[in-house]
Structure 1
Amino acid sequence: MKKFFNSKNTSDPIYVQKLSDDRYNLPLNKSLSNNLNLLYKVFSNCADVVYHKFVIDSIEERPCVLIFINGLSDIRSINENVLPSIMNIKEISQDNLRSNGTLEIIRKRFLQTAKVSELGTIGQVTNSLLNGNSIFLLDGDDKALEMKTPGWKEKNVSETNVERVIRGPNEGFTQNISINISQLRRKIKSSELKVEEFTMGKQTLTKISITYLHGIVDNNIVEEVKKRLSKIDIDSVLESGYIEELIEDTHFTLFPQIQHSERPDRVAAGILEGRVALLVDGTPCVLILPATLIQFLQTSEDYYERYTTTIFVRFIRLIFFIISMLLPGCFVAIILYHKEMIPTPLLVSIMGAAHGVPFPIFIEALLMEIVFEALREAGIRLPSPASQTVGIVGALVIGDAAVRAGITSPIMVIVIAITATASFSIPSYDMGYAIRVLRFAMLCLGAFLGLYGILLGIIILLIHLSSLSSFGINYLSPLAPLNLKDLKDALIRFPWPYMKCRPHYANSNNLQRQKTFCKNNKDEKG
C-alpha cells in the first residue's frame, strides 16, 4: 500500500460542481475523485477534517481514502485498528471481485476489528463524520464503509471555575485546542461549522482557529477578522488576551470590545447567532466577536430559565450595574453639596455616625475603596482556602476595627459593602474591571462638582460608548441605534417562541432561526 497524495488536515480547494440545497441526498459516485470533491465542498474551510489517501497495491492499485474529524474520532483506535486492517489487505482473487463487491470483501475479511456498516449518500457520510466515525472510500465503488470510532467521550473535560451556572451544562474548555473544537462540534453537528487554522507568534508558533457557521455569519465580519489577524507580527502568543488587544477596534478605552468565555455552550450560542469564535491553543478562554455592551450583562443561564425569571434577574443585574458605578460618588456628592435631598432624621443619623472621623468624607470613601480593592485582589491571588480567610478578615475584623477606632463611619462601611456586592453581580469580569475604574472617576467628580459632576461624567461616558464599535457593530446596539427586533433579547427576554430572528449582525439572508410558533400547533408560518 502506498500513498498517492500527501495526507493533509485541510480540505483541498478543488470544486468540480456546485452542490444544490439537497446536496446531502446525492448518492455516492463510483469515482473517488467526484466523491472527494463533493466532500471538499461540504467541509470547505474545515481544517479539522483529515483525509488520509492511499493506493492499495493488491487491488489493482486502486486509490482509497480514510476520512475522520480530528477531535471527534478516537485517533488511537484508528491507528491501532482501522489503519492496520486496511494496510493488511492481501491479494483478492478476480473471482471474488466478480462475485462480491470489493468493499464487501474488505468489510468481511479485513475490517473485523471495528463495527462497520455501508453508507450510500453524501448526507449519510456527513452525519457519520460529525458523530465521530471514520469513513473509508474506495475508487470504483459507490458505497462507503463507516467505522464506529467516536472518541470525544474519553476527553477529560472539567467544569469552569469562572462562569458558574445553576442550570445548564457543567463543562468548560480545556487548554487543548483540538479538544475545544471537538466540544463545539458536539454542540453544533453541522458541516457548515467551519474551522480555519492560523499560526501566530514567530517564536511560539501558537495555533489559532477561526470558527463560524457558514451561511449564518456575515462574511464581511469573517474577512475583517482574517485581515486583522494577517497584520499581526509578534514573537509570542501565550494567551488569547494577546490576540484580543491586537485586533480590537479601539485600544484606548476601559471597555472590552471582544467577549471571552470558557463555556462551550455559550460559544456555540454565539456562533449560532452569527458571531465568530477565536480559539487559541494553550488557553481555555475563547474569544467571541463582535460584542456589544448588553452582551456583557447576560449569561448563558438566561436562556435556560423561564423568561419571567430572566427578566427579573436582568433588571436586578442592571440596577446593581448602575449602583456599582455611581453609589459612592453620589453618596459623597449628596453629603458635601446636596444635604437638603436627605430627610432630616436620616441626615442627623449620618452626621452623628460620622462625628469624630478624622478624614473628610471624600478621603474616607477613597481609602475604603482602595482597601476593598486590595482585599479583593489578595483574595484572587491566594489559594482558595486562604482567599476565604482574607474575605472574612477584611469584612469582619478590619471593618469592625476601623469603625471602633473612629477611622471610618458605619454608614461608609455600609455604602462600600453594598457597592462591593453590586460589583459581584456583573457577569463579565472584564466589564467589572472597567466599572471598578469608573467608580473612582465618578467618586472624584462627585467630590469636586457634586451631582452636576456625576451627570457630566455620565454624559461623557455615553458619548464615548456611542463612539465605540466592535468589528463594525455599534457598541450600544440594539439601544443605539434603536433596533426594535433585537430588543426582544436585550434588557428583557421574550419567550423563545417569539424570538424568531437572529441579531442584526448575522447574515441578512438568513436572519430567521425558527418558524412562527402557533398556539394550536396545527400550522406554522415561515
Structure 2
Amino acid sequence: MGSSDKPNQAVGECSPLYGTIAENVAEIKKRLGHSSDIKILELEMSAGRMAKLAVVFTEGLADQVAIAEYSKLLMEIDLSDAELSEDRKRIGPEATCQLAKELASGYGPILELKDFEGLLDIVLIGGVAVLSDWNQAFAISLQKFKERSVTEPTTESVVRGPKDSFTESIRTNTALIRRRVHYPSLWLETKKVGRMTKTDVGIMYVNGLADESVVAEVRNRIEKIDIDGILESGYIEEAIQETSYSPFPTIYNSERPDVIAAELLEGKIAILVDGTPFVLVVPALLISFMHSPEDYYQRYDISSLIRILRFIGMFIALLGPSMYVAVTTYHQEMLPTPLLISLASQREGTPFPAFIEAVIMEVTFEILREAGLRMPRTIGTAVSVVGTLVIGQAAVAAGIVSAAMVIVVSMTAISSFIFPAYSISNTIRMLRFPLMGLAASFGLVGVFVGMLGIITHLAGLSSFGIPYTSPFTRMDNMGDAKDTIFRLPLRAMRKRPAVFAKQNPIRYRRNQSSPNDSS
C-alpha cells in the first residue's frame, strides 16, 4: 500500500527548479518514470561561445513541426553578437534565456516556470518547456493533437435543424456555442478538476439572465469535487446532483450546440467538460426531458401534436405491460367478451402466468437492445431486428408466451424510443419492472399505488433549488405552462421561464409594425 502512494506524492510535490539543466532533466525523467513519449532535446548553441538549452515536450500532444522550427532558430543564434556580462567569459544563462524568449514570442504566450509542478503540468497538457541554467525556465503553448471533427449528432437526430454536434475538445465546444450567441454577457469560467487528470471544466452562463445564486451553487459544488480523475461529464453529473437515490435525472445533457444555446438564453447554466461531447445543463426540470429542439423549428400546432404523442408514448412505455398483467390477471370483466375469449384461447397452452410472460419478454428485449448497441454497426441492426422477430415468433409457436404479450411488449419497446432524451428513457425502463410486480400482486390497485409513489417522489425532487415538476407545482408561474405539454406561438411566449430568468424576463418584444400585431 505504501508503494502505491509514492507516485501521488511525487506528482503533487511542489519544489523549485534546480540550478543546472542536467539536474532538472534528470529530475523530470525520474518523476515521469523515463516515459518514452516525453521528449527532451538538449541543444548546444556555439558560435565562438557555448550555451545550452533543453526543450521538453510530450510527443503527440505538442506541435512537433513548430518545435523543430523553434529548435532550428535556437541553433542558429549568433552568440558572438549577444550582450555579455563584463565579469563573464561565456554568455550568461539570463542572456541565453532572454534570447530564447524573444524567439518564442512569435509562437504564442510565454509563461514563467519556477517549480517542477508547474513545469510538468504544462508539458503533460501539450505545452513546451524550455530550460536554461540557474533556475531559468519558461513555457510556450504549442498544443496540437488529433481530435474529431464536427459531425452530425448521433443520439439527438432531428429532421429539421442544425446538423453539427459537440466534439471532445472543450475549446471547439465553446466556439460552437459562441457562434450562435454573439453576446458579450455570455461568460465562461474554467476550472481544473481531478487530482491526476486535471480536466478542464467550464461553467458557461449569460450574466444578467442566470440566477446568481444558482451560478454560485454550481461553482461551489464543482470546487468541492475531490477525485482522482474526470473522464466524462457523467462524473461531474453524479458529483453535483441533488440526490443519488432517484431514478430520475436532475441534470440535463445534450450533444447539440443549438440546444445548449437555447438553454442558456432561458437563464440556465451549461457545464462543459474537456474530453466529452456531452454538455450538462442545470437546473433541469422533468418537462425538459420531453422536449425536442425540433419543437421550435416547425409550427407550434405540429409541435404540440408531436408532444402529445410523446406523452402518450411515455405512458405506454411505463404502464403498458403492467396494465396488461393487471387486467388479464385480476380484472377480466373490463375486457370485451370477444377479446377476453381470444386472449383465453391464446393463453390456454402457456405454462406461465402473465407476469412471468411479461418478465421473460421484457428481459429478452432488453438483452437484445443492449447487444444491438454493443455490436459492430454493420451487423448490430440486422441481429437486433432478426433476433426480435425470430425469438418472438418461436416463443409463440412453442407456447411459452401468448401472441398478445408479444404485441404488448413490442408496443412498449417502440414507445420507449420516442423520448428525445436518452436518460429519461432509461428511467422509464427501470420503473417498468416494479410496476409490473405491483400489478401482478395487487392488480390495478397496485399500479395506482405505484404511480402515486412516483408522483410523490417527483414532487419532492429539485434541481439546484428549482422544483423538479415546475411549472405544474407552482401556481404563481403558470405562465411558464405555455411551453410544456403544448407549445404556443412564439409571439405568445413573450417571457422567459420565471423559475430561471428572474432579472430579465422579456425575450420577445413586439414591434408595432409587425404583421403579427395587426389585429
- Using the TM superposition, give the Cα deviation of residue 389 of structure 1 relative to its aligned residue in structure 2, in angstroms: 1.6
Q: What corresponds to 2:436 in structure 1?
A: 443
- Using the TM superposition, give the Cα deviation of residue 221 of structure 1 relative to its aligned residue in structure 2, in angstroms: 0.8
Match of residue 340, structure 1, among 308, 333, 358: 333
Q: What corresponds to 2:387 in structure 1?
A: 394
Cα pair 1:497 1:517 within 8 Å, conserved: no
Q: What corresponds to 2:228 in structure 1?
A: 235
Moved more, 473-482 or 449-458: 473-482
Q: What corresponds to 1:512 in structure 2?
A: 506
Partner secondary structure for residue 189 of structure 2: strand
Match of residue 486, structure 1, among 480, 484, 487: 480
Structure 1, residues 402-445: CA drift from partner, whole Å, max 9, x if none?
11111111000000000001111011111111100100011000
Match of residue 353, structure 1, among 341, 346, 351: 346
Letter in 1 for 2:424: M
Moved more, 219-228 or 379-388: 379-388
Cα distance in structure 1, aligned partners of 2:203 and 2:435: 39
Letter in 2 for 1:291: A
Moved more, 286-295 or 358-367: 358-367
Percent identity reads 46
Match of residue 217, structure 1, among 201, 210, 217: 210
Check 1:447–1:494 CA distance in 2 against 1; reply closer, same or farther (3 A cut). Answer: same
Q: What corresponds to 2:180 in structure 1?
A: 187
Q: What corresponds to 1:295 in structure 2?
A: 288
Larger radius of gyration: 2
Unaligned runs of 5+ in 2: 1-64, 70-146
Q: What corresponds to 2:364 in structure 1?
A: 371
Partner secondary structure for residue 245 of structure 1: helix
Q: What corresponds to 2:237 in structure 1?
A: 244
Cα pair 2:158 2:294 within 8 Å, conserved: yes
- Using the TM superposition, give the Cα deviation of residue 509 of structure 1 relative to its aligned residue in structure 2, in angstroms: 2.2
Q: What corresponds to 1:263 in structure 2?
A: 256
Cα distance in structure 1, aligned partners of 2:514 and 2:474: 36
Map 1:9-408; keep pairs closer than 5 Å. Answer: 156-408=149-401
The Cα RMSD (Å) is: 2.0
Match of residue 411, structure 2, among 403, 409, 418: 418
Partner secondary structure for residue 204 of structure 2: strand
Q: What corresponds to 1:409 in structure 2?
A: 402
Cα pair 2:233 2:273 within 8 Å, conserved: yes
Cα pair 2:350 2:399 within 8 Å, conserved: yes
Cα distance in structure 2, aligned partners of 1:479 and 1:383: 43
Normalised TM-score (structure 1): 0.69
Unaligned runs of 5+ in 1: 1-75, 81-153
Cα distance in structure 2, aligned partners of 1:263 and 1:415: 33
Partner secondary structure for residue 486 of structure 1: helix
Structure 1, residues 88-114: CA drift from partner, whole Å, max 9, x if none?
xxxxxxxxxxxxxxxxxxxxxxxxxxx
Cα pair 2:351 2:400 within 8 Å, conserved: yes
Q: What corresponds to 1:39 in structure 2?
A: none
Structure 1, residues 444-482: CA drift from partner, whole Å, max 9, x if none?
000000000000001111110000000011000011123
Letter in 1 for 2:492: Y
Partner secondary structure for residue 440 of structure 1: helix
Match of residue 464, structure 1, among 457, 461, 476: 457
Normalised TM-score (structure 2): 0.70
Letter in 2 for 1:271: L
- Correspondence 1:503 to 2:497: yes
Match of residue 454, structure 1, among 447, 454, 461: 447
Cα pair 1:317 1:426 within 8 Å, conserved: yes
Partner secondary structure for residue 179 of structure 2: helix
Cα distance in structure 1, aligned partners of 2:418 and 2:516: 43
- Using the TM superposition, give the Cα deviation of residue 387 of structure 1 relative to its aligned residue in structure 2, in angstroms: 1.3
Cα pair 1:277 1:289 within 8 Å, conserved: yes
Cα pair 1:219 1:507 within 8 Å, conserved: no
Q: Number of residues paired by the alignment?
A: 375
